A and B are shown apart, each in its own frame.
Chain A
Amino acid sequence: MSSACDFLVIGAGPAGMAAAATAAKLGVSTLVVDEQPAPGGQIYRGVEQRDANKPGVSHDDWARCAALAQEFRASGARYQPNTQVWQLEKNRKVYVSDGAKASCITAKRVLIATGAMERPLPFPGWTLPGVMTVGAAQILYKTSGWVPHAGAWIAGSGPLLWLYAAQALEAGGKFEGILDTTPKANYVHALRHGINALRAKEYLDRGMALQQSVRKSGVRIIDDVNAIEAKGDGALNRVHVHTGRHWQDMPATRLLVHQGIVPNTHTTRSLNAAHRWDKAQHAFAPVADAWGNLDAEGYAVAGDGAGIAGAEAAAVQGRLAGLEAARALGVIDAAQRDQQAMPLQAELKQHLAIRPFLDQVFAPRAGLLTPHDDVLVCRCECITAKQIREAAMLAGMGPNQVKAFTRCGMGPCQGRMCGMAATEIIAHARGVSATDIGVFNVRPPLKPLSLAELAALQAP
């Protein structure tokens, strides 16, 4: 089965919704596909099902996202939920599946607005049932109202950690404590960005208020944690915590971990588009121009998938990409685009002012980036850090040879969980930078498909 459109947007988060609404309102035939059942992306997940007074959601945020979802729904853009993209081709043939049937969409322009994922940092015991990410817990909260009640710890660093802790506490959740791995020194280094950050005072105030509300709630907070280990036989039952000098051993039934978010580059990498190592964000990001255009003809990227900048910036980037799509498709000219873009570019600059400060404060703790030999790095194929290190040292293998040699990154997640860690481990073992090492190549399909799904492609 196949269909066609002028502008295809992948992802219905703030970036995708804003891009689609902007282009569709200018008269561009626009289609949005998203693998989730409803619009909203990560931050605004479940926005249309939520009521405004639900605890843990600020009224401003709720109003902002509900307005964007409404604008998107009313814009004339077509929307296809429950639709996963599994292959992109240079000629802008995009293959999707609804879980039962695969089909092909041909577009003149494609915007990749697939957002971010949590930085996967392997640590001892991270595969034990009972351990999951803070983002996972937040998704359970947003869609199912689930919060933990006993035996739960939060560990790691990053704005989302504090946001979730505040949300869950307000919703009646309970935590044994928070294990903050943010290095104290990060705050000192961040001060040199302080002046710039002051321009984004609103962001800073919100962040501080969140941390304070969590600290005031009386939940135990252990600062400057060096390392954590999850322990248990078949399921989590204890967490080991290393601070300055010693290990502490605590009973635990749930451990929620978080180490910031990184662009989910799986889609952009599958196009072989150029990527760069962003030193400040400690992650790979696609190389794009001011409009989000990639070096793959007709493809662009917007939102956190282009580099972490937050939801409000994502929406503005989406609008810019929508204008650029309209220009490229001949619906408006460059002068019209530039004129409409001007206030958006100023707004974007404002949102980006806080980033250098946040990137520095929440930079991952160096000691956590390269796990010990016996830590399982590839969850799917059960490959340890030691196996990766040894392969890297053999004839100076890079990530793709290590992958072929060890099977690291060859399981169903296709290296989404182990790819960054493998790069760090190889770079560290060989004493070179992550830029020089690069990252796993991504080959289609982006998600495993069944034969029955594929068979539908042949149907007329």
Chain B
Amino acid sequence: MSQELITVYVEGTPVSVSPHDSAAAAALKAGLAHTRLSPVSGEPRAPYCMMGVCFECLMVIDGVPSRQACMVRVHAGMRIERQNEAKVWA
């Protein structure tokens, strides 16, 4: 893991991360306690399984809502934001 770090923007704040990190890992490194609000109860939630099972990590990534942040690898300049409202599925 000796690669150079890249910069992503978590809630607008620049954070240096490894290119191997997931967007969810970047959010954790940025110190975000919660990554979304439950669309049902409004309670704060955070990534739970990090392996694509629980869907607690749904975030807005590069403007696209409801991405599974634990399954998305970062790229330079990625914008990672909390998801604070419900999304209607296809």
From A139, A144, A453, contact of B51 by CB (8 A): A139
Chain A residues near B67 (CB, 8 Å)?
A: 99
Are A46 and B40 touching (Cβ within 8 A)?
Answer: no
Are B44 and A234 touching (Cβ within 8 A)?
Answer: yes
Cβ contacts A350-390/B at 8 Å (1 or 0 each):
00000000000000000000000000000111100000000
Are B89 and A412 touching (Cβ within 8 A)?
Answer: yes
Are A448 and B49 touching (Cβ within 8 A)?
Answer: no
**How many residues of chain B are within 8 Å of chain A by beta carbon?**
39
The complex places the Cα of A42 from the Cα of B67 at a distance, in Å, of: 21
Are B33 and A129 touching (Cβ within 8 A)?
Answer: yes
Which residues of chain B from 63 to 90 have a CB within 8 Å of any chain A CB?
66-67, 70-73, 89-90
The complex places the Cα of A377 from the Cα of B23 at a distance, in Å, of: 26
The binding surface of chain A is classed by DSSP as: loop
The complex places the Cα of A129 from the Cα of B66 at a distance, in Å, of: 18
Assuming the A-B contacts A412-B55, A417-B53, A448-B66, are A146 and B29 also in contact, with contact meaning beta carbons closer than 8 angstroms in the complex?
A: yes
Which residues of chain B from 1 to 41 have a CB within 8 Å of any chain A CB?
1-2, 17-18, 20-22, 25, 28-29, 33-35, 38, 40-41
Cβ contacts A125-144/B at 8 Å (1 or 0 each):
01101111101110110011
Which residues of chain A from 146 to 166 have a CB within 8 Å of any chain B CB?
146
Assuming the A-B contacts A143-B21, A264-B53, are A235 and B45 also in contact, with contact meaning beta carbons closer than 8 angstroms in the complex?
A: no
Q: Which residue of B lies closest to A407 (CB)?
A: B40
Q: Which residue of A lies closest to B46 (CB)?
A: A129
Q: Does A401 contact B (CB under 8 A)?
A: no
The complex places the Cα of A235 from the Cα of B66 at a distance, in Å, of: 22
From A35, A133, A146, A413, contact of B55 by CB (8 A): A413
Assuming the A-B contacts A413-B55, A449-B90, are A118 and B49 also in contact, with contact meaning beta carbons closer than 8 angstroms in the complex?
A: yes
5 chain-A/chain-B pairs, Cβ below 8 angstroms: A133-B50, A145-B1, A379-B45, A379-B54, A412-B66
